[in-house]
Amino acid sequence: MNICKDLKERSPLIHCITNPISIMQCANAVLLLGARPIMAEHPDEVREITASAKALLLNFGNVTRDRLEAIKISYDEAMQKEIPVVIDAVGVACSELRRATVNELLGKRNPKVPMLVKGNYSEIRALLDEGYKASGVDADKKLTFEDMLDPAKELAKKLDVIVLASGEKDIVTDGGKTAVIANGSKKLGSITGTGCMLGAVCASFFSLQSDIDSIVWATAAFGISGENAEGDMFLMRLFDAIAEIDDDMIEERKKVTWV
């Protein structure tokens, strides 16, 4: 696979509607991979911006009236123009507003549009089980990989999307094929915004190859970057590691099991 090489050669535009907590991290993750980030979220311009992008990232990490309006407008444009979409369902396990909005978008899905639905274990479970609740945006530590493997597959089948459930081991599934990725570092959970960065990395890879293999590759790439960044000044080292990641390194270091 040559996605890292192709990103640097083709520099696709990635439209990210994300949150102010992680907007800098997401923009830099996209840029360091070789793609071009644009973080437009004004409702009056997002349709135009989305139309020119190669992928759309919708991150629910912090919602406002204007941001939700922008998300809906951009999503509608992506459905019309068949632009790949990544929905990062941050907080849907603790906020009925976020869960309802994500479900509203999924209910308007154009089946021709490649889509990734990403979340931690709690967020993926919340999208499958409307009665499930969690506290805050962190995953319930009681949920294990074994608990989430079948629900992730079930959600992917139900929605006809690719699902990425991030946790102790990352699960990527389209309901038929399922990969488990064991790359990563505990340090990734020690600073805010790394989950959002993973969504931005996925959107970048998805812009060039909109299938489950690209999401497995992206997830392994980010995990390996985390491994390479361990030490002091972790966030700065993580940026450097993302800039240095390449396809050969991913092929050599990926810890991927198909189940």
Between 168 and 222, the more confident residue is 222
Q: Average pLDDT of 121-141? A: 91
Confidence of residue 193 (pLDDT cuts 50, 70, 90): very high
Confidence of residue 131 (pLDDT cuts 50, 70, 90): very high
Portion of the chain with pLDDT greater than 90, in percent: 96
Domain with 204 in it: 3-258
Grouping H, G, I as helix, E, B as strand and the rest as coil, residue 17 is strand
Confidence of residue 78 (pLDDT cuts 50, 70, 90): very high
Beta strands in the chain (DSSP E): 13-17, 36-38, 55-59, 85-88, 115-120, 162-166, 170-173, 178-181, 256-258
Checking if the pLDDT of 139 tops 90, the result is: no
pLDDT, tens digit, 9 for 90 and up, residues 218-244: 999 999 999 999 999 999 999 999 999
Predicted pLDDT of residue 140: 84
Predicted pLDDT of residue 142: 87
CB 55 within 8 A of CB 15: yes
CA 217 → CA 38, 223, 224, distances in Å?
23, 10, 10
Closest by CA position to 207, among listed 98, 50, 47, 42: 50
Portion of the chain with pLDDT greater than 70, in percent: 100
Q: Average pLDDT of 84-94? A: 97
Confidence of residue 106 (pLDDT cuts 50, 70, 90): very high
Checking if the pLDDT of 181 tops 90, the result is: yes
Residue found by looking up tokens 């960065």 in the block = 197
Grouping H, G, I as helix, E, B as strand and the rest as coil, residue 73 is helix
Q: In what side-by-side order are the strands of the sheet with 256-258?
A: 36-38, 13-17, 55-59, 85-88, 115-120, 162-166, 170-173, 178-181, 256-258
Per-residue burial over 176-208, b = 16 or more CB atoms within 10 Å of its CB, e = otherwise: ebbbbbebbbebbeeeebbbbbbbbbbbbbbbb
Predicted pLDDT of residue 228: 98
Confidence of residue 138 (pLDDT cuts 50, 70, 90): confident
Closest by CA position to 172, among listed 116, 227, 98: 116
Predicted pLDDT of residue 109: 95
Confidence of residue 136 (pLDDT cuts 50, 70, 90): confident
Checking if the pLDDT of 177 tops 90, the result is: yes
Two tokens, residue 32: 């360091």
Domain count, the chain: 1
pLDDT, tens digit, 9 for 90 and up, residues 20-36: 999 999 999 999 999 99
Q: Average pLDDT of 80-94? A: 97
Q: Which residues are bridge partners to 164 per DSSP?
A: 118, 172
CATH of the domain at 186: 3.40.1190.20
pLDDT, averaged across the chain: 97
